[in-house]
Structure 1
Amino acid sequence: MVLFFKRLARAAPIAFTRTFHGQSKSAATSTFGIPFGAIAAISAGASFFYYNSSQNLVHLDQINEETGVRTALNPDKWVEFKLQERAKVSHNTHLFRFSFDPSAKLGLDIASCLLTRAPVGQDAEGKTKYAVRPYTPISDPELNGYFDLLIKVYPEGKMSQHFNSLKLGDTVEVKGPIEKLRYSPNMKKHIGMIAGGSGITPMLQIAEAILKNPDDNTQVSLIYCNVSPDDILLKNKLDVLAAKHPNFKVYYTVDNPSKDWSGGKGFVSKEMVLKGLPGPSEDTLILVCGPPGMMNHISGNKAKDYSQGEVSGVLKELGYGEQMVYKF
């Protein structure tokens, strides 16, 4: 297992690799990775709520029928995972590592997300009310014993505030995986990505799956937009991936650039897409994930029934059809 400090050093700005949950650097390195279309991606929309007080938690009782491998995740039951470590990545974003039996596989496919839930009181009938939120792990699904979630903490976010309150050893309830885009190696010659904020997580999941596979020749181009340079999540990690892999390119743009900023400025424009992403083609797929405003500008949001809906915005104006765009 790769040590947490080494992984975070690639993932977060250097300023945030020095301490972990109040520990010293040496202490931190001693421990340490239906289709459900109605669930939005990590960066979209508000928390989801539903009521359930009768389901029991289970632990590692899911068996993959195809492989016979025991998996930590269960798509039908809520499972408790223990918080093993946490680290600050930016002023409002944290990395959370949850552990499970290392003899089991996580059971996550590319590209899939997890559902998390936390109790938020009771309804009028006295039943427990839960906040439910999807998150996409950024750790390699093939790693045993842990998975990592990158979570932006919002002032009014019930689920993200719950995560922020967790202490080492606390547990969180998880269900999944929830399949989003079923990726297969070389399914397209070129994949373009447009991500905003924490919408980087499904992009990173797919990009790393491509880059670690020597038989996958897919070209990957990412445009990553944020409010300011300080809000760019996992920049060091993305830069290392781009430096090591000639088939991965990343371009950053921010709304509020600093004086020494040399990247893009402002919203993703037609010019940025034309210059940085593959053009419309049967061999092209453009992935989009970000807050509703960004989605509306780039591709249009999903339909009311949470299906993909029509393509609009910048991508439609540039000639991309519905089969060339996937909205997380």
Structure 2
Amino acid sequence: MLNIPTQAFPAPNSQQRIGPSSQSGRNKVALKPGHSLMDWIRFSKSGKDLTGLRGRLIEVTQEELQKHNTRDDCWTCIRGMVYNVTPYMDYHPGGEEELMKAAGIDGTELFDQVHRWVNYESMLKECLVGRMATAIKGTHTFALYDWFQTDVSVHLVIYAKRKIPSTGCTSVDLQAGVLRLEVLLGKMSYMIHLRLAEEVEENVAVHTAASVGKIQVSVRKQAKRKWTSLGQPLEFHNTFLRKKDRALFYRNCVLVSKTEVNHNTHVFRLQLPRGTVRHVPVGKHVYLKALIKDTEVVRPYTPVDQTMAAASHHSSQDSDLYLMIKVYPDGVLTQHLNSLQIGDLISVSGPEGTFSLRPLRDVTHLYLLAAGTGFTPMARLIRLALQDIDTIRKTKLLFFNRQEEDVLWHRELDELAANDERFQVEYVLSVPSDGWTGRKGRVDECILKDFLSRPDVSKCYACVCGPTAFTELTIGLLKQQGFSEEELHAFQG
């Protein structure tokens, strides 16, 4: 990682983090001189055999992987790919002890706890041993696909064999005749990956029959002739894997506009490629990636609607992506993003995150507690609660900021509260001006007692997002107020 000064907010391991993440769930150790990230990049490109296999790629069994579990012979598996990380041991910012936790085993889960956004494929490219021999193939037990054609079009049909969300579970990318389709089914991911047999138009249509679990993807042929096959299977075609075992997939989006929100925050509007159909569900985030000074920098951001007045279901029809980004003076990626011109490209991943709407069923009172840009996942959740969840009678936002000028969408939130009695917002400032008449201070038991109410025969749910210290303290205080684990969600990267 680049050695950048840390900021107090957003939290280093929060999905709202825009500056570099230097404290993301594990302790850094002091590396020896000559063992920085740039030193590792130079060493890995030196031409030395870092795998011990002289350039060969092999298929690795579980038994073989387990043999390589020592400091001097350390292999690990990340998303089905096996790496010899022995040469990297002295370069790892988390130290040898942390890296050894994944020795000889599948380290995907350990990796994701700290490094989900890191481009390990690039960093460990020269350490690649091969692929695990245990990839789970898609079977009819989970999902299957079929296809049919007319004179002018080709239709691919996915049968998920279960009810699915009406939006957000399907991502389709059609680029240069290659079709990549991913369907999220709970914690699992089903993928179709084909080089199509003939040339097609780039426009893609997706129709979802949620109640029966059917997804139909349609493309138009360039020539009116009969296809004898759908196409040639590519990597991971017809596979059914855990979502966390899929590597992040990026698309190049166009910066369409940049709208000022306050003195240091803008809404970036990004346009998806023509052949891409994808919707980011409420509460999920995406990753942005950029090559800055020969180093890939990746950070997570939560999409918002175009404004607070924009209905959440309208955004599902809008293919553009809106990201509220705070620009830090020493933020490597945010400074880069701020320098982009309209028409420039930005690499954007698919949706990530653990938030689910399922716990909101039958909820009557929704409490949202946010600090700074921790507001971004709350923005769409507020609109969803007011428009699409009939049981919710009250949605309350407690919004913590340093000064009044830092409050995001202040006017929009006030207007929404004035126009809809089901929504209420309260602001808390830690460094208020002399003229501020609202709440002052930081999150504590007293503030929460005043903010929360649990009417009889009510079902409550609370969401929290902000710096790690804020989130942990707030979750603890909410539990003291009687909230159970099932009634709480902490947005974290």
Q: Could you tell me the TM-score, scaled by structure 1's length?
A: 0.72
The answer (yes or no) to whether the contact 1:83–1:96 under 8 Å persists in 2 is: yes
Q: Is 1:132 aligned to residue 292 of structure 2?
A: no
Q: Deviations over 1:47-98 (max 9, x none)?
A: 45434459xxx6675546543358xxx9842101100000221121111111
Alpha-carbon distance in structure 2 between the residues aligned to 1:196 and 1:251: 12
The answer (yes or no) to whether the contact 1:83–1:171 under 8 Å persists in 2 is: yes
Alpha-carbon distance in structure 1 between the residues aligned to 2:217 and 2:403: 44
Equivalent AA in structure 2 for residue 263 of structure 1 = G
**SS across alignment from 1:68:** strand
Structure 1 unaligned residues grouped into runs of 5+: 1-37, 123-128, 300-311
- How far is the alpha carbon of 1:203 from its aligned partner? 0.8
Task: Determine the structure 2 residue equivalent to 1:7.
Answer: none
Alpha-carbon distance in structure 2 between the residues aligned to 1:46 and 1:324: 31
Q: Is 1:286 aligned to residue 260 of structure 2?
A: no
Pair 1:41–1:76, CA change in 2 (3 A): closer
Alpha-carbon distance in structure 1 between the residues aligned to 2:17 and 2:354: 14
Q: Is 1:160 aligned to residue 334 of structure 2?
A: yes
* Greater shift in the superposed pair: 228-237 or 252-261: 252-261
Task: Determine the structure 2 residue equivalent to 1:253.
Answer: 428
Task: Determine the structure 1 residue equivalent to 2:16.
Answer: 42
Task: Determine the structure 2 residue equivalent to 1:24.
Answer: none
Task: Determine the structure 1 residue equivalent to 2:474.
Answer: 298
Task: Determine the structure 2 residue equivalent to 1:114.
Answer: 286
Task: Determine the structure 1 residue equivalent to 2:480.
Answer: 317
Structure with greater Cα Rg: 2
- How far is the alpha carbon of 1:40 from its aligned partner? 3.4
Mapping of residues 1-328 of structure 1, within 5 Å: 40-43=14-17, 46-47=20-21, 49-53=118-122, 61-63=179-181, 66-68=214-216, 76-100=248-272, 105-122=277-294, 129-139=295-305, 140=312, 141-184=315-358, 186-213=361-388, 215-279=390-454, 283-299=459-475, 312=476, 314-328=477-491
**SS across alignment from 1:112:** coil
More strand per residue: 2
Structure 2 unaligned residues grouped into runs of 5+: 1-11, 22-116, 126-172, 184-213, 219-245, 306-311
- How far is the alpha carbon of 1:182 from its aligned partner? 0.8
**SS across alignment from 2:448:** helix
- How far is the alpha carbon of 1:244 from its aligned partner? 2.1
Q: Deviations over 1:174-203 (max 9, x none)?
A: 111113311146442211111000000101
**SS across alignment from 2:384:** helix
The answer (yes or no) to whether the contact 1:39–1:134 under 8 Å persists in 2 is: no
**SS across alignment from 1:177:** coil
The answer (yes or no) to whether the contact 1:44–1:291 under 8 Å persists in 2 is: no
The answer (yes or no) to whether the contact 1:103–1:145 under 8 Å persists in 2 is: no
- How far is the alpha carbon of 1:238 from its aligned partner? 1.2
**SS across alignment from 1:179:** coil
Alpha-carbon distance in structure 1 between the residues aligned to 2:217 and 2:391: 25
The answer (yes or no) to whether the contact 1:102–1:145 under 8 Å persists in 2 is: no
**SS across alignment from 1:223:** strand
Alpha-carbon distance in structure 2 between the residues aligned to 1:44 and 1:246: 34
Pair 1:159–1:44, CA change in 2 (3 A): closer
**SS across alignment from 2:216:** coil
Alpha-carbon distance in structure 1 between the residues aligned to 2:472 and 2:431: 20
Q: Deviations over 1:161-181 (max 9, x none)?
A: 221121100111111111331
Q: Could you tell me the TM-score, scaled by structure 2's length?
A: 0.49
Q: Work out the percentage of aligned pairs sharing the same amino acid.
A: 29
- How far is the alpha carbon of 1:254 from its aligned partner? 0.3
Q: Deviations over 1:239-275 (max 9, x none)?
A: 1221222221110010111222121101023222122
Q: Deviations over 1:111-149 (max 9, x none)?
A: 211111111344xxxxxx321111111114413231210
The answer (yes or no) to whether the contact 2:282–2:381 under 8 Å persists in 1 is: yes
Equivalent AA in structure 2 for residue 78 of structure 1 = Y
- How far is the alpha carbon of 1:315 from its aligned partner? 2.2
* Greater shift in the superposed pair: 194-203 or 279-288: 279-288
Pair 1:133–1:315, CA change in 2 (3 A): same
Instruction: Indicate the structure whose relative CO is greater, using CA pairs within 8 Å and at least 6 residues apart.
Output: 1
Paired positions, count: 266
Equivalent AA in structure 2 for residue 297 of structure 1 = L
